[in-house]
Structure 1
Amino acid sequence: MLYSFILLLFSYTFHCIYKQARQHNLSRSKGCKDAQSKAPVKDPFIGFDFIYDCLFAKPVEKYLDSTYKTFQQLGATYAYKRWTWEAVYTCDSRNIKHVLASGFDDFKLPRLRVNAMMGLLGSGIFTLNGHSWSHARGVLRPCFAKQNKESVVNMLETHFQALLRRIPNDKATIDLQPLFFWLTMDFATDFLMGHSTHVLDRASSHAKEKQFVDDYLTCSTEIVRKMQLGPLQMFSINFAAMRARSRVFRYIDDFIDASLDTKDESESTNMGCNVLQCLSAVTTDRKQLRDQILHILVASRDTTACLLSNLFFVLAKKPHIYDKLRREVVSIAGVEPATDHQLNSMEYLKWCVQESLRLHPVIPTNAREASRDTVLPYGGGEDGNSPLLIKKGNLVMYNIYAMHRDARIFGPDPEEFVPERWNGLRPGWNYLPFNGGPRICIGQKFALLETYYLVSRMVQTFETMSAVDDSEWIELYALATTCKDGVKVSLTRSN
């Protein structure tokens, strides 16, 4: 035993020396320097302050604004270092481009995020790395490419009419945010599986569907909570979330069985045109089908609902922008639902959506973990223009919210909602509402089509929209970011 212990100690010591020597050589060959700025920490060794904050501290109100101010104080890239944990935070588009594109092979999804999502959503495109991810994306890409835009628009109109039936005819105050989430859930399940949850439909109770939506939200909330706990998530057990996960899995499995039952085509509202049908042509593995559908549902439902909520929160407080947007839509499409061609010609509509995604990105922060010793091109040295060593296993946390507020790129008053700033603007890697590089959002075009169509139909239907109070936008930080206090408005229908 003594011999084994000595051998083990020697091996560990040799490994540490070899690893440090390798990192030193890499750092010297790339010209790396220490980080220009380092975030102050109370306990730089074990991190008891981090543990306390995770377990007992209240969530920071306006967290995204606090991260933006930190970058203003410490610079576009800074290190956060403890003996037990090390990360680099950046809003520098050059570093973000390197992590997502030019240095793509040096980074992977963080293990903490993967573990948090896999436990409640299974193994899908948002938890896979390497060859498994490439294969999953390769399978999914044709499923979106085969979709017929005209069929998608017709499907959207059906669910939009269900939304309208939920809105009173008078000027009563209504919160649009839950309606947008129900609408996008109904459309996403219809688009993905050929069966809609129909939670907007008042015709029946839809108890099973509403239970699914509630369980889905429980799982989403638990995922966010686990990611916030970081390395402490292994000690967190939520039995309610586990039961909700089981019900979600059963519900999706039943949907899959019904959608793939070709003996009764009337069971599907869009048979032969949904993503599940395309996936089932590639694999019959029910678990793989379920996991992939759940992951796409997170992306398609949550992000679009948050985008619509964030946009209309602002439009309701800026009647001059709403009126200008409405005039453009009506001048091109009149009062009839717009075609895909007409939507493409609505320039101001696109500017409004782009400005909402800039000011309130639905995925405002993200992260990657170094899969090997590597470097970031900027952030080191006294001027921050030297490379920065990133050790294997360390995190790079990139902040889209802060990057989108760079006045050098987006002009003066970057915290203001000004759609006209997009006239001729080409920000490149400084604008990443759908991520970038090989992992860029696979459903980006359909998300924008859905958004453009629903925004155009809203402004066609309602002549005026006004906010009921002067509250400012505060984020509800979840899998996708939306308005904490909802979107409470007063609407006047067009004649």
Structure 2
Amino acid sequence: MFETNYRVFFAKSVARLLTPPLLIAYFISRFFLGPLDALFAPFFYLLVSLIWATFVVQSERLYQRFDARRRGAVLVPEVKGRLPGNIDIIFRSLRCAREGYPLSDDEERFEELNADTINLRLLWSDIILTREPQIVQSILATNFIDFEKGLCSKFGFLFGLFGDGIFNNDGEDWKAHRALTRPFFARERVRDYDLFSKYSNIAISLIQHRSLQNESLDVQDLFGRLTLDAAGEFLFGTTDLQTLSLPLPPSAKRSKLGPKGTQPDDTVAVGTYSGFVRAFEQIQVSIIHRFRVGPLWPLFEWFKDSTQEHNEAIDAWIAPLITQALENKKMRAGKGLTLEEGSLTDHLAESTTDVKLIRDELMNILLAARDTTASLLTFMCYFLAIYPEVLKKLREEILTSLPKESPSYEDMRNLKYLRACLNETLRLFPPVPYNARASVKATTLPRASPLERPFYMPGPHASISYPTLLMHRRKDLWGEDADDFLPERWLDAKRLRELTMDPFRFLPFNAGPRICLGQNFAYNEASFVMVKLLQNFDTFELRQKQDAPEGALPPEFWKNLSGRAACEQVWPQNAITLYAKVRTRAFLIRRETNIHFQTGRSMDLYGHVNVPRMITLSSPY
């Protein structure tokens, strides 16, 4: 099983590929050429293998042309690389990962072919890339049954990340997983504002403490902790994480880089925040490296699975929670009781005793509940720091409606500009910037114009990816200001009508039957945190240049690029979710010479120091 030994699966795949030409070469040499010279034999076998591979590739392409013509379709435009099998494209992707803007290499390929759907043909395999909403709609909704997770499933690149959870399954297994988790995301659960308030207040105290010390704060680290603590209680039923109570990374340039930003304190033991989160983040970075390397990734991990060590650190924290949930189930059964309220762990334990299944499901949902919301909050704060006029307008809306009190669900619905800011952040920096499917069978893909012939989609198992980040920034879909942060576009009636007519151009939470179950939870949590933040602070200052560690600032050559790269002040990068290098370091809440106090005081976590609830802030921005 590849699920337990990807090396065996890869070896079998290579054997299936090489066996026919080797057998052909053997029979030719035995019955026609006689015994081969020891020096000549390897070259002969190689020659036959190359001829066989050429025959297979050309015959497959011939069949695709015939099948496409039969279906009234055309083949997707192909990228023409400089090296055989387009392997130079892989090198370009790796170089882009090191120093380029996210997905800029894919955007270059779209521009080179002047097309919104292209075929990379990596190693002579069909790997289709699209940023056309009509095609994405077909994949995710109208022709949903013709596509599956494919190479992105537990049998491919995502090996070691999602296991047997909901993100890695198709068909009836996926339906069973979704039915298992859907009830937990009922409306009354995702509106648990007491939970949001609890952790938001702690986070605000931490910001106030740094503010009074006139020190910068890494908000990506802070939001990662906030969302993890909230997810820990919401999903796992535990308040033991308390990551917001652990030491924050030092301010200014004393901090270190971790796998996805600022590294937590190294003195924190494995199994707690540092070990668990660093492992969870490093796995995501490893997975993206596999995507860039392509189908040959098992060769690079032949002697060591890049996810194994990190999974051991994750299990050290999560296994005791599952064990406790199963013990609680036994206790209830012994007393004849049923589960009425409880965490997702408790609900999963009610349905199965399979520890691995519970563990995998929890990790799937944790990624959706924690990393995506932390990404949204981080990039929204980034925008508010560099667009003070938006910050001022948003804060006025919040203080007019909610000067002090915690918001309710109905209050949130009335904060139109807040929702517009969240949506605009999700448009420019979607938490999941890249997604993929594979064909179940050969089919066709619709075009933007009904006058154009559809594209031919090979099958089965041909890969098709859709970079949401690039689709969200297409100027022909969003206007010439598509690269600009402009929340007002979400309040413009004409633009909203266009979006309503073509909803698949905006997909921060996916769409169709596999739409994100935690969408409302993410919106509610992010909205609540931003309300509490802007009730307490009125100015953010981006301290990237002054306080970011070496290597965290965008490269100088970005200034000569087009689009957002030319003006970006942080270094966005993509793992499974989008993040900022060194966690968008840093957003300083600065004090004015004169500090204005409002009634009400909050307790600071460090030494129980009383600090003002409201600070009037100043920024030289």
Check whether TM > 0.5.
Answer: yes
Matched, 1:176 2:219: yes
Q: What is residue 411 of structure 1 aligned with on the other side?
A: 479
1:148-167 → structure 2 map (5 Å cutoff) = 148-150=189-191, 152-167=192-207
Equivalenced residues, count: 480
**Separation in 1 of the partners of 2:444 and 2:452?**
13
Matched, 1:209 2:253: no
Matched, 1:343 2:441: no
**Of residues 187, 199, 209 in structure 1, which corresponds to 2:243?**
199
> What letter is aligned with 2:126?
E
Q: Which moved more, 1:176-185 or 1:113-122?
A: 113-122
Q: Which has the higher contact order (CA 8 A, sep 6+)?
A: 1
Q: Which structure 1 residue ranges, 5 or more long, are not aligned?
A: 265-269
> What letter is aligned with 1:437?
G
Q: What is residue 229 of structure 2 aligned with on the other side?
A: 186
Q: What is residue 99 of structure 1 aligned with on the other side?
A: 139
Tell me by how many angstroms 1:236 deviates.
2.8
1:109-128 → structure 2 map (5 Å cutoff) = 109-112=149-152, 114=154, 115-128=156-169
Q: What is residue 589 of structure 2 aligned with on the other side?
A: 491
- Larger Rg, first or second structure (1 or 2): 2
> What letter is aligned with 2:186?
A
**Separation in 2 of the partners of 1:419 and 1:15?**
52
1:360-439 → structure 2 map (5 Å cutoff) = 360-378=429-447, 385-392=452-459, 393-423=461-491, 424=493, 425-426=496-497, 427=499, 428-439=503-514
Q: TM-score, normalised by structure 1?
A: 0.87
Q: What is residue 251 of structure 2 aligned with on the other side?
A: none
Structure 1 residue matching 2:432: 3-state secondary structure: coil
Contact 1:112 1:227 in 2 (8 A): no
Contact 2:326 2:353 in 1 (8 A): no
> What letter is aligned with 1:394?
A
Contact 1:309 1:487 in 2 (8 A): no
1:462-481 → structure 2 map (5 Å cutoff) = 462-468=537-543, 472-481=569-578
> What letter is aligned with 2:151?
R
1:81–1:312 distance in 2 versus 1, CA, 3 Å:
same
Contact 2:85 2:121 in 1 (8 A): no
Contact 1:379 1:386 in 2 (8 A): no
1:405–1:202 distance in 2 versus 1, CA, 3 Å:
closer
1:83–1:339 distance in 2 versus 1, CA, 3 Å:
closer
**Separation in 1 of the partners of 2:61 and 2:342?**
55
1:43-122 → structure 2 map (5 Å cutoff) = 43=83, 45-50=84-89, 52=91, 59-73=98-112, 74-81=114-121, 84-112=124-152, 114=154, 115-122=156-163
Contact 1:112 1:231 in 2 (8 A): no
1:226-245 → structure 2 map (5 Å cutoff) = 226-237=290-301, 238=304, 241-245=307-311
> What letter is aligned with 1:61?
G
Q: What is residue 247 of structure 1 aligned with on the other side?
A: 313
**Separation in 1 of the partners of 2:448 and 2:134?**
10
Q: What is residue 264 of structure 2 aligned with on the other side?
A: none
Tell me by how many angstroms 1:479 deviates.
1.1
Contact 2:280 2:310 in 1 (8 A): yes
Contact 2:119 2:127 in 1 (8 A): yes
1:112–1:346 distance in 2 versus 1, CA, 3 Å:
closer
**Of residues 170, 173, 179 in structure 2, which corresponds to 1:132?**
173
**Separation in 1 of the partners of 2:325 and 2:277?**
19
1:419–1:57 distance in 2 versus 1, CA, 3 Å:
closer
Tell me by how many angstroms 1:347 deviates.
0.3
> What letter is aligned with 2:589?
L
Q: TM-score, normalised by structure 2?
A: 0.71
**Of residues 137, 142, 146 in structure 1, which corresponds to 2:183?**
142
